Structure 1
Amino acid sequence: MHCFFVLLVLACLAAPLPARAGVTLEGDTCRQVFDNPRAESIACQTGFRLDAASQRQLAANSFGFVSDLSCSAVLSARRSDVIARVQARGDVALPPQEVRCRLVSGGEPVPVRFHLAPVVRLDAAGKAVDARLGIRDLTGIPEPLATAVAEFLNSDPTLRRNLVAAANQIIPNLPKR
């Protein structure tokens, strides 16, 4: 079931839109593994950190409690499962995957974990047209801060666009059957 998850996480974190991305890819080994057509088993790590504008927006959305956020995840999937999910079209919902983050609050780093359960909508032609991140179960920080951080990430239009853009870069390179 983790099959299509790799596609979505890569899309969210690795879209090559550096001027508009809001995030910088960090420690990524997923794109290299995913792009290897001989690798049936996909096992990799990926992560991101926020750019200065996104840091300011996060601080505003969290009432000044959080000033920075960086995250990483270890992903695993079978390439054939990813391909099957893409070929199915429609809304592709993924099972929750744990993501570990380091946020900065009051100048101090705080370890945080959450689940990412994205959904990517594919049209009849197999093109990604929309996405939702599905961030939930945020632990490591108290409420209402946990809700503010989750809402910030879930509502960020750049992360959603990155997810769609990356999915559309990966999908054409997948085998047709």
Structure 2
Amino acid sequence: MSRSLALLFCVALATLVVTAPAMAGVTLEGDTCQKVFDNPRAEHINCRTGFRLDAATRGKLESSTFGFLTDLTCAADLTATRSSVIARVHAGGDVALPQQEVRCRLYSGSEPVNVRFHLAPMVRIDKKSRRAVDARLGVRDVTGIPEPLATAVAQFLNSEPTLRNSLIAAANQIIPNLPGR
């Protein structure tokens, strides 16, 4: 559950399925959030997590950028208040998670480029079934690369179905394990 919650914030990245160390589209790396999420008394979430694209998703990134970008790794320091996130989930509807800054390295061949963006995931939870039915990563404000490449990267991450489906799957793994109201 802890890696999925970290992913729910980050993958965004979504990053990003579930209690497994690797999920479709990405592999978590550098995760220090497990300890925080495993502690039900930890009200303040303040930890670091990251991800690396798997081979298939790297291929999609390369294809969608006409071969210019070949890889992407990201990390984020996650901050939130556990009770606030849980209250939003229990309320159902569109659950907007707190915006986080994500730092990435984009690779063009072997040359890394440092990029930053904001990630503000939204998960739509059906009020009757209490299941996630849709999600958006909410990647915006990409800096560190010129336009129109910044827009292309944001569009890729926001529209990539594997990442979006991973976010939905992660939410559906987390929701049944959340404490009651």
Q: Cα deviations across residues 79-107 of structure 1 (Å, max 9, x unaligned)?
A: 11111111111011234321000011142
Between 5-14 and 45-54, report the one with greater CA deviation: 5-14
Q: Which amino acid aligns with 1:13?
A: T
Q: Does 1:167 align with 2:158?
A: no
CA deviation string 1:117-145 (max 9, x = no partner): 11100001321111001111111111111
* Alignment RMSD (CA, Å): 2.0
TM-score by length of 2: 0.87
Farther-moved stretch of structure 1 (12-21 vs 47-56):
12-21
1:24 counterpart = 2:27: yes
Give TM-score scaled by structure 1 length: 0.89
Q: Distance in 2 between matches of 1:29 and 1:173?
A: 20
Amino acid at match of 1:97: Q
Aligned residue for 1:94? 97
Match of 1:148 among 152, 168, 171: 152
Distance 1:24 1:8 in 2: 14
d(CA) in 2 for partners of 1:133 and 1:96? 10
Aligned residue for 2:151, secondary structure, equals helix
Q: Is the 8 A contact 1:44 1:76 kept in 2?
A: yes
1:9 paired to 2:9: yes
Q: Name structure 1 gaps, 5 residues minimum.
A: none
Structure 2 stretches lacking a partner, 5+ long: none
Q: 1:105 aligns with which of 105, 108, 124?
A: 108
Output the CA distance in 1 between the equivalents of 2:70 and 2:141. 20
Q: Aligned match of 1:134 in 123, 128, 138?
A: 138
Equivalent residue letter for 2:65: S
User: Is the Cα–Cα contact under 8 Å of residues 36 and 47 in structure 2 kept in the other structure?
Assistant: yes
Letter in 2 for 1:116: L
Aligned residue pairs, count: 173
Secondary structure at the counterpart of residue 27 of structure 1: coil
Q: How many angstroms apart in 1 are the aligned matches of 2:67 and 2:52? A: 18
Shift of residue 10, structure 1, vs aligned partner: 5.6
Distance (Å, rounded) in 2 between the aligned partners of 1:82 and 1:33: 14
